[in-house]
Structure 1
């Protein structure tokens, strides 16, 4: 049991480091800090339990916020919490074999719904300005993950890797 926790912790740290690397690859936009930090976090659901995967998503967003100069200040903490929830739910959908439902959820939740609080907190114009680049970044991140899934599935089968719940 302790070995599993240590393995998950180390794997989460390694994937978080990859998220930090992705945070340097920005998707151009007017207002947002969109980057390719989410793809490793989304991939982590294939290896980690939901809590660990959610933590990786949180760290990934915070890395992007820091590498962008924290333009939204403390609002980035709200986005980090949203990333935790989105990756956590995505991991749960993956665990329960929602093979096709999890992808539209991910695009809808991360690309359209996650900036929705800023419609009310900042302005409708901010939300509409942030939406295009965030949506494009989400689709790019999801396409990267979908392209990696067949390879990951084969490797997991070869190694007989099981993710605990």
Structure 2
């Protein structure tokens, strides 16, 4: 009887361990979804790129008489903004477009206006990701991070964010 109980206990532990390992591997593999070059957003149709969990989004959100671009909590009625691009600029109209261009720039395009770079890059991006941490990231062709929103804090600190001494904050 004791051997049977021990065997059952061992099998339960083994099953739980395998189940947890499988879930951990799946979670690690699905931390982000890639946004490819040429992808675009508009305020009134496809207005954001979601993180895999759907918790965070990068894109347009209503601001004043127009729209702003940033990272916000998604899936709730009132968007809670955690990062804003070019936050001192006036809101943009519904005719604006956010594009990850084919030459690797993240650009806000507006009719009758000059394109505005969202990220100042020293090299072209190959793709982007909205991470479940709330960080919007641009990668080069070697899959290295070349720009990330978390390095340009505004008025919200995220759990994985590190504040560097001497960094220019956009408060």
The TM-score normalised by the length of structure 1 is 0.26
More strand by share: 2
Which structure's relative contact order is higher, taking Cα pairs within 8 Å and 6+ residues apart? 1
More helix by share: 1
